[in-house]
């Protein structure tokens, strides 16, 4: 059996298909509604392999389903945006995601139970919580196949597709991918009437329970195997970091030799959200390269908590000091070989890569199908050896980025920031009421949050409250020095309310004033440099604080933050 055939629904850039191609499967067609995905798919698998179509066209048209090519394997990765827990905090409408997924399952059911079926396996990939919104099993009537089932003398109440028991959460790092990406795979080896769970191939080196696994491929490993993005143009061979037998000329390595450096205001915002988030845990900044990469997302951004950020290879401080991955780095992290090309702009390419299925995971399930068909699992994968750059917008520039246009925030942007978390407290400067979650900005406010999340005590302090703290702080070691610094030099950098907001929106200091994020950062740096013999203060009453013991750092923070809000509001 030489030609084991595959169709790929919601094919995207083709990561699912790529894994099966690497195991020798014949890719017949990929289907998607997004033209850049189809252009990318056809570029890599062959002219006209990608079919531009909306999968919803098959929802109520069995004739269209039956007209699809009959193949040995059906793959599908329904769009996961509405299922994602990060989408509007998981509150997005799930109905479209369910409809798309059930349309895919309907296609599988028709191809599986047709009298002349040749289907041997099907697999579906999605985010981990997607199965929470699907039924445990579907009969033909559930899938809108009542009349079709009767036509072929099948009971409409017969179970066509089982979800429960045929789904498993897969971490791509455990199957040779340099990325910790968890996705649920649902499917079935038809002859077994169930999903076969593949054995892990990789794990942590210190795992005493699975000592025979290969060690995880780390982010540092992958980066070390690729040329640095700031290298000069030269004709030397580049070896694929994941496929050692694949080499191409450096001039053929696309989408890698360009500057992805971030403005200082961008990476600082990401750093704050990673290491000092108001209510979420600590994350590494920059990335921890001794582990597999975190999940590549579909949106390329350098300002969020989920941003993947590296130290730049350029020797810069401030603007450009840190960078996001190149598209080529992201593609390698997803398991694509370096010959694989993506069609479109940088943002389009990033979306194509971030939405893809990891090729290493796909390849693992392709191996299971080969085993079931009594075929050897390929150890040297079938990979496109040559590079086709025709029609590809290559992002390579071999030039350093010029940082001459600082990104602007929207007019009326809300501000919330604290210097640090200490003693389960945060002292916060904001331009809106955090508890009421006001949508509009107002005056600048000083507040304390006792604990994290909803339901914890929260206090707002009036302007000039800092004066009540001076007698307390003056008794601390270095307390008088702190007061002197705040009131002689630092206070002069605080602008009036309107100008402070303007600087925040423009993300830059103006005249001799500091924009609010830098004011708060300066407070953190000043206080963190002070050493206390006794770090805790016990108030004589709870009129100021709602705790018996308060970190002295937070008392200093309350003083400084209230000084900022008071001076801004009174100017």
pLDDT tens for 199-250 read 999 998 766 667 789 999 999 999 999 999 999 988 899 999 999 999 999 9
Among 180, 284, 169, 282, smallest CA distance to 222 is for 180
pLDDT tens for 93-129 read 678 889 999 999 999 999 999 999 999 999 999 999 8
How far is residue 70's CA from residue 478's CA, in Å, rounded to a whole number?
Answer: 79
* pLDDT of residue 85 exceeding 50: no
- Specify the pLDDT at position 207: 63
User: Percent of the chain scored above 70 by pLDDT?
Assistant: 95
Model's pTM, two decimal places? 0.91
pLDDT tens for 459-492 read 999 999 999 999 999 999 899 999 999 999 999 9
Which CATH superfamily groups domain 5-214+357-372? Vaccinia Virus protein VP39 (3.40.50.150)
Q: What residues have CB less than 8 Å from 330, skipping those under 6 apart?
A: 296, 350, 353, 354
pLDDT tens for 342-382 read 999 999 999 999 999 999 999 999 999 999 999 999 989 99
* pLDDT of residue 383 exceeding 90: yes
Is beta strand 26-32 parallel, antiparallel or unpaired with respect to 50-52? parallel
* pLDDT of residue 307 exceeding 90: yes
Q: What residues have CB less than 8 Å from 370, skipping those under 6 apart?
A: 4, 23, 24, 376, 377, 378
Helix residue spans in 424-506 (DSSP H) = 466-473, 479-485, 497-506
Mean pLDDT of 437-449: 92
- Specify the pLDDT at position 547: 82
* pLDDT of residue 537 exceeding 80: yes
* pLDDT of residue 82 exceeding 80: no
- Rounded to 10°, the helix 552-570/466-473 angle is 150
* pLDDT of residue 453 exceeding 90: no
* pLDDT of residue 84 exceeding 80: no
Mean pLDDT of 18-47: 97
Mean pLDDT of 307-312: 97
Q: Quick one: pLDDT band at residue 539, thresholds 50, 70, 90?
A: confident
Average pLDDT, the chain: 93
* pLDDT of residue 387 exceeding 90: yes
Domains of the chain by residue range: 5-214+357-372, 416-570
């Amino acid at each position: 059996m030489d030609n084991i055939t595959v169709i790929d629904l919601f094919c995207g850039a083709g990561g699912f298909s790529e894994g099966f191609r690497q195991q020798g499967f014949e890719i017949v067609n990929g289907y998607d509604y997004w033209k850049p995905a189809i252009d990318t798919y056809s570029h890599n698998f062959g002219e006209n392999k990608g079919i531009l179509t909306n999968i919803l066209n098959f929802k109520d048209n069995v004739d269209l389903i039956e007209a699809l090519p009959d193949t040995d394997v059906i793959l599908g990765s329904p769009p996961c945006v509405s299922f994602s827990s990060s989408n509007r905090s998981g509150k997005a409408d799930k109905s479209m995601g369910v409809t798309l997924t059930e349309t895919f399952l309907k296609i599988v059911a028709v191809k599986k139970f047709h009298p002349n079926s040749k289907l041997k396996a099907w697999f579906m990939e999605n985010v981990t919580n997607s199965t929470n919104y699907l039924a445990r099993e579907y009969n033909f009537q559930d899938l809108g196949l009542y009349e079709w089932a009767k036509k072929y003398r099948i009971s409409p109440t017969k179970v066509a597709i089982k979800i429960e028991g045929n789904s498993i959460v897969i971490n791509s790092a455990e199957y040779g991918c340099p990325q910790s990406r968890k996705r649920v795979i649902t499917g079935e080896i038809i002859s077994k009437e169930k999903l076969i769970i593949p054995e892990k191939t990789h794990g942590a080196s210190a795992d005493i329970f699975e000592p025979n696994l290969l060690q995880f491929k780390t982010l540092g490993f992958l980066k070390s195997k690729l040329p640095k993005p700031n290298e000069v143009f030269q004709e030397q061979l580049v070896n694929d970091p994941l496929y050692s037998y694949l080499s191409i000329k450096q001039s053929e390595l696309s989408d890698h030799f360009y500057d992805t450096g971030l403005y200082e205001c961008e990476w600082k915002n990401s750093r704050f959200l990673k290491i000092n988030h108001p209510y979420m845990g600590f994350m590494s900044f920059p990335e921890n390269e001794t582990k597999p990469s975190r999940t590549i997302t579909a949106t390329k951004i350098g300002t969020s908590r989920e941003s993947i950020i590296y130290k730049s290879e350029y020797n810069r401080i401030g603007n450009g000091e840190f960078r996001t991955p190149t598209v080529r780095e992201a593609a390698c992290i997803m398991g694509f070989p370096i010959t694989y090309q993506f069609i479109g702009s940088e943002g389009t390419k990033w979306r194509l890569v971030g939405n893809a299925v990891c090729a290493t995971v796909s390849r693992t399930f392709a191996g299971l199908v080969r085993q079931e068909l009594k075929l050897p699992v390929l150890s040297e994968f079938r990979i496109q050896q040559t590079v086709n750059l025709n029609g590809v917008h290559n992002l390579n520039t071999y030039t350093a980025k010029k940082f001459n246009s600082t990104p602007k925030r929207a007019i009326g942007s809300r501000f919330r920031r604290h210097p640090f978390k200490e003693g389960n407290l945060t002292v916060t400067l904001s331009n809106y009421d955090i508890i009421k979650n006001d949508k509009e900005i107002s005056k600048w406010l000083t507040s304390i949050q006792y604990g994290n999340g909803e339901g914890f005590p929260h206090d707002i302090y009036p302007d000039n409250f800092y004066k009540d703290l001076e007698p307390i702080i003056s008794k601390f070691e270095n307390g008088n020095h702190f007061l002197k610094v705040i009131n002689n030099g630092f206070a002069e950098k605080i602008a009036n309310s309107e100008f402070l907001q303007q600087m925040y929106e423009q993300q830059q200091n103006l005249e001799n004033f500091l924009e609010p994020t830098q004011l708060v950062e300066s407070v953190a740096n000043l206080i963190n440099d002070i050493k206390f013999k006794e770090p805790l203060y016990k108030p004589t009453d709870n009129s100021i604080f709602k705790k018996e013991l308060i970190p002295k750092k937070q008392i200093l923070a309350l003083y400084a933050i209230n000084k900022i809000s008071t001076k801004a509001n009174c100017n």
